[in-house]
Chain A
Amino acid sequence: MRLLILVAALALGGCFYDNTSPLPADFGSCAAPEPEGVAPAAPTYWRDLKPIVDAHCAGCHIQGGVAPFPLTTYRELYEYRSKSAAMVETRAMPPWQPAACCGHYRGDRSLTADQVATFVAWYDAGALEGDPADATPSEPPVPEALPRVDVEVRMAQAFTPEPRVGKDELRCFLLPQTFATATYITGTNVIPSNHSIAHHAVLFAVPADKIAELKARDGADGRPGWDCYSSTDELDARGAVGGWQPGDGPQLLPDGVGVEVKAGSQLVLNMHYDTGAGTGSDQTTVQLMTSPSVARVSRGVAIMNPLWFAGDGMEIRADDPDATVFFAYDPTPLFSKGQPFTVERVMLHMHELGTIGRLAVLHPDGTSDCLLNITDWNFHWMTTYTLAAPVAIQPGDKLYLECHWDNTAGNQKTVDGNRQAPRTIGWGADEEMCAAVVSYSEAL
């Protein structure tokens, strides 16, 4: 009899268990279809293309930039005209992951429908150069900089990445910079010396009591720094203070907001190098704008279901074309003492098999605010998005995260030229993850 009850309970599943996403069916969709882009008649490079390419491509497609070839002259663009038009038309370039009609973000790289139409029309009409006299007069671009540099520090030695597998190496370095007194970081500028291999960077301030342990790891394998591919240890309890990704310039926090650095902390730089994109060594420089006091301090809230890292709670079966997980919870009792807060920045994290990532605020009345909607996930362009308009979270609202993966043969990683076979995986550094962090600021 008891066995029967048990079997029945197991068959039923939990009373509150519901595996259908609570998102409305029209989540993130546009209220009205996007209007067709309009191109000027007979577009030329000098008159129509140069402003687009200078502003939206050349930041990366420049000699020494992250992209494999420059797009700074007519000749260069002409050489890549067909691929470029195709990339622009499919919106694969410039890299910008958030789908339209969810939110607006600072530093949006995406092109308007008119710009896309102009690019495509220019290519279709023979990719003409036109007359240099048609060019809109423009200042030669000046490198962006922090309004003030209070701290400047560089990796102690140049580092040449040599990945153990594949093309990526994630390496951590202790920077020769400690903070004698408590400080607030209000702006960061991470400047890799070799853009061709620097893929992204995260800057941490490590509290005094952890430094000895990291010093022991530093150089232990005979190379500068230490391996930090599965760096949740470092990310745990220590906190990032800034970072860099391709195309980033100086990063300023909202006015009056700072990231707290405790007295005695030392800077650690976590570099992601991609040797598929370039060769050589790198010695990154970090510039900081700091302040002894701020009005508001930046805080982060993580979103992930704890059951994902227990047993098979996030099992992604081999050959599953759309493995999906989601999680929703009210962060206010745990993080803000039950008070409302406003989300300023959002970050979503999956690995290479990810396809769709969604972040939202669910309201008790069934409505929702879209924070992030990525429908064509690309691990290599993962970044933090700063909302143009902060979104409020009231007690009773829930932060919602949803991740999708394609674990079929066609979507596997290529390691050393060999496409991997699908395997059943779960939560792990060399498996998958689904996590998000939203940042808000709190009055001191």
Chain B
Amino acid sequence: MSASLSGFRTIGRAALIVVAALAAGCGAYTSYKQTRLTPRGHTDYLFAAELQGASTGMDGAPMPEIAVGARRRVHDRIDVGATGTILPLGEAITSASAEVSGKLALGRHGRWSAALGTGVGYRVTTSSGAVFEGVHAAVPVILGVDLGRHQLVLSPTVGYERLWSSGARPVSLPFAGYSLGFRWQLARRWALLPEATVGYTPARNYRTDSSQLFQVGLAVLFTR
């Protein structure tokens, strides 16, 4: 052995990449949930800034991202949308994802309402010439309570993600979590949607037998 082992200090940096790779985590999946459907004949545009990642309980690296999305009503009780996210930090790390999602309004009882979401997506992360990819599916149950024009949202989510990187075996990440969000109706066409999500996956990482996933974000919703 010799001083070369000092390179192991860089395991920390490698761990950052894994966190980034895992960060395809729960956050991107059908984010900024609320039970209201896009008004008929209109489009909801979404612009968001978010931080998301995976954590070992001892350490974790939040990955900042920006997201854009659009939604349309396609049925009395269904709207569908597409969302893209990107983190462009050049060769060190670049990540992008795309997701299509649908939402089915389940019902309303006074101030209380419920919807069922579903989304499937793809993410690619490149770090210094290494490529990590993942596909995911998520099913959030969305529960809302109207507070005047605004809405408070609680949303338990289950999902599954599969990650690939050449030379490694595919990694399966079943996950479950919930998010707490708010639809703050600023004006007729404008709303702010803060949302925080925590999730859990039984997949181990280099330190612990399971991993936590997290996401916090703030979206601006514009209806046209």
- A residues sitting closer than 8 Å to B (CB atoms) are 2, 5-6, 9-10, 13-19, 21, 185, 188, 200-202, 232, 235-245, 251, 253, 259, 298-302, 304-315, 325-335, 338, 345-347, 382-384, 386, 398, 402, 426-427, 435, 437-439
Contacts and interface: CB of A to CB of B under 8 A. Distances in A.
B127 interface: yes
B71 to A, nearest CB: 15
Nearest to B130: A329
Nearest to B134: A14
What bracket does the count of chain B residues touching chain A fall in?
35 or more
A347 B3 CA distance: 10
B76 interface: no
A382 B1 CA distance: 8
* A interface: dominant SS: mixed
Interface of B: 1-15, 17-19, 21-22, 90-92, 100, 102, 118, 120, 122, 124, 127-135, 137, 162-173, 201, 203-206, 211
Contact of A239 (B2, B6, B201): B6
A237 B11 CA distance: 8
Given A6-B120, A384-B1, A307 B7 contact: no
A16 B96 CA distance: 14
Contacts of B22: 310
Given A10-B162, A330-B129, A312 B169 contact: yes
A289 to B, nearest CB: 13
11 contacts: A2-B118, A16-B124, A232-B8, A237-B12, A240-B4, A253-B3, A302-B8, A307-B168, A310-B205, A326-B166, A333-B92
A2 B130 CA distance: 29
Contacts of B205: 309-310
A346 B2 CA distance: 10
A328 B130 contact: yes
Contacts of B7: 299-302, 347, 437-439
Contacts of B129: 328-330, 398
Contact of B4 (A13, A305, A346): A346
B9 A300 contact: yes
Contacts of A259: 3, 6
Given A309-B18, A329-B128, 8 more contacts: A302-B8, A308-B168, A310-B18, A311-B171, A311-B204, A313-B168, A326-B166, A334-B13
Closest 4 CB pairs of A and B: A300-B7, A306-B18, A437-B7, A243-B1
Contact of A300 (B4, B135, B164, B173): B4
Nearest to A253: B3
B133 A437 contact: no
Nearest to A315: B169
Contacts of B11: 232, 235-236, 302, 304, 435
A238 B9 contact: yes
Nearest to B20: A306
Contacts of A236: 8-9, 11-12
Given A310-B204, A314-B169, A335-B10, A235 B5 contact: yes
A243 B168 contact: no
Among A202, A232, A313, A438, the most chain B Cβ lie within 10 Å of the Cβ of A313
Q: Which of the listed residues A19, A302, A314, A332 has the most CB atoms from chain B within 10 Å of its own CB?
A: A302
B171 A307 contact: yes
Contacts of A307: 18, 21, 132, 163, 165, 168, 171
Contacts of B15: 306
Contacts of A306: 14-15, 17-19, 21, 132
A251 B2 contact: yes
Instruction: Give chain B's interface secondary structure class.
Output: mixed
Nearest to A426: B204
Nearest to B173: A311
B201 to A, nearest CB: 8
Contacts of B14: 302, 304, 306
A302 B13 contact: yes
A309 B21 CA distance: 12
Given A2-B118, A307-B163, A333-B92, A240 B1 contact: yes
B171 A305 contact: no
B13 A305 contact: no
B168 A242 contact: no
Contacts of B204: 309-311, 426
Contacts of B5: 202, 235, 239-240, 243, 300, 347, 384, 437
B162 to A, nearest CB: 6
A347 B168 CA distance: 21
Contacts of B100: 2
Contacts of A315: 169
Nearest to B129: A330
Contacts of B162: 10
A259 B130 CA distance: 29
Contacts of B163: 307, 310, 313
A345 B7 CA distance: 11
B135 A9 contact: yes
A17 B133 CA distance: 8
Nearest to A21: B167
A172 to B, nearest CB: 13
Nearest to A331: B128
B9 A235 contact: yes
Given A306-B18, A315-B169, A10 B135 contact: yes
A398 to B, nearest CB: 6
Contact of B203 (A241, A244, A311): A311
